[in-house]
């Protein structure tokens, strides 16, 4: 079943999910504070498409992408050179296709269609705890008849303007790398065992090979922390980066170097990746992310 908006509420956190829009988590509300960025040009406050719009799969260049916002899952590595790279977003199945939804104990589970280029089918399972935390369990299954090699890649979009802080374990060198410089590489500092990325107007991405398995971002009077396991013996995409931080802001013209990407707002992306895994037909790989919200003092 694919239908409308689904809400999970434990009295502390309220999560809004829209299976028809790529299985997205589009609202993460802590009391009166909304943590996620979503596109006000496409969605209203109730997560409904504006002007009576109907959810449709979206494809094309990055400049054609309908960026609804929120939290979603993609395959990595990204690229446009060969079939072992995912040429999105957009993507008409995993990113913007309808997901079927079913109830689970304490939450819900959403499953994508089969994507022919990657051979993958995704499942996103959200579970609310009793306090200000939730768990997102991701699974990628090879539903093709050939071996494939991919990593899970979860992207959480937050409003720009907050500081990003991430723990460093320093088990890989360098601990931080520049990955994408649309208008430049984001500036950062390393304070002991912490990476600090201040607010700034830049379109670009950092990779964190030395991540300790957690990252936080301030949003107004609250902070969201994502925690995840890291296998320091495994291979990860993008210079061995289990964590990536993307920043963007509006520009006077689309970025031709990034497929005419046209950033709609100041946005911070916290991107958590699983290891690159070779999957035989019928095999799967999984990644679990725990989100915790706290009020800033």
Per-residue pLDDT of the chain (297 residues; tens, 9 = 90+): 556 899 999 999 999 999 999 999 999 999 889 999 999 999 999 999 998 778 889 999 999 999 999 999 999 999 999 989 999 999 999 999 999 999 999 899 999 999 999 999 999 999 999 899 999 999 999 999 999 999 999 999 999 999 999 999 967 779 999 999 999 999 999 999 999 999 999 999 999 999 999 999 999 999 999 999 999 899 999 999 999 999 999 999 999 999 999 999 999 999 999 999 999 999 999 999 999 999 997
Four-point Cα dihedral 252, 35, 53, 6, nearest 10: 160
| Helix ranges (DSSP H) in the chain | 237-240
Strand partners, 137: 125, 288
Cα–Cα dist 297/295, whole Å: 7
Cα–Cα dist 279/124, whole Å: 18
3-state DSSP helix/strand/coil percent for the chain, to nearest 5?
5, 45, 50
Only one residue has tokens 């993460």, namely 28
Q: What is the pLDDT of residue 55?
A: 85
- Do residues 93 and 114 lie in contact, with contact meaning Cβ atoms separated by under 8 Å? yes
Chain mean position to CA 253:
25
Tokens found for residue 125: 């399972």
Eight-class DSSP state of 128 = E
| Domains, in order of start, for the chain | 6-295 (2.70.98.10)
Measured in residues, the chain has a length of 297
Q: What is the pLDDT of residue 161?
A: 95
The values of phi and psi at residue 269, to 5°, are -115, 125
Q: What is the pLDDT of residue 2?
A: 55
Cα–Cα dist 28/112, whole Å: 21
Cα–Cα dist 132/292, whole Å: 6
């Amino acid at each position: 079943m694919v239908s409308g908006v689904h809400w999970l509420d434990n009295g502390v956190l309220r999560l809004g999910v829209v299976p028809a829009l790529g299985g997205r988590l589009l609202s993460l509300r802590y009391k009166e504070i909304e943590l996620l960025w979503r596109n006000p040009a496409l969605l209203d406050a109730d997560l409904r498409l504006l002007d009576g719009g109907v959810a449709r799969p979206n494809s094309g260049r990055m400049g054609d992408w309908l960026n609804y916002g929120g939290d979603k899952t993609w395959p990595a590595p990204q690229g446009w050179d060969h079939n072992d790279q995912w040429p999105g977003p957009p993507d008409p199945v995993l990113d913007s296709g309808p997901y079927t939804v079913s109830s689970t104990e304490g939450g819900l589970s959403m499953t994508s269609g089969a994507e022919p280029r990657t051979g993958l089918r995704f499942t996103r399972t959200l579970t609310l705890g009793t306090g200000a935390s939730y768990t997102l369990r991701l699974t990628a299954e090879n539903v093709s008849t050939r071996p494939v090699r991919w990593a899970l890649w979860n992207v959480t979009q937050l409003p720009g303007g907050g500081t990003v802080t991430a723990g460093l374990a320093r088990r890989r060198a360098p601990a931080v790398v520049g990955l994408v410089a649309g208008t430049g590489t984001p500036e950062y500092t390393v304070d002991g065992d912490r990476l600090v990325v201040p607010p700034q107007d830049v379109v670009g991405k950092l990779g964190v090979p030395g991540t300790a398995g957690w990252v936080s971002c301030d949003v107004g009077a609250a902070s969201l922390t994502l925690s995840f396991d890291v296998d320091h013996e495994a291979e990860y995409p993008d210079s061995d980066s289990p964590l990536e931080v993307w920043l963007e802001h509006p520009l006077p013209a689309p970025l031709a170097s990034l497929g005419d990407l046209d950033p709609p707002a100041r946005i911070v992306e916290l991107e958590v990746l699983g290891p690159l895994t070779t999957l035989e037909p019928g095999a799967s790989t999984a990644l679990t992310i725990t989100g915790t919200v706290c009020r800033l003092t």
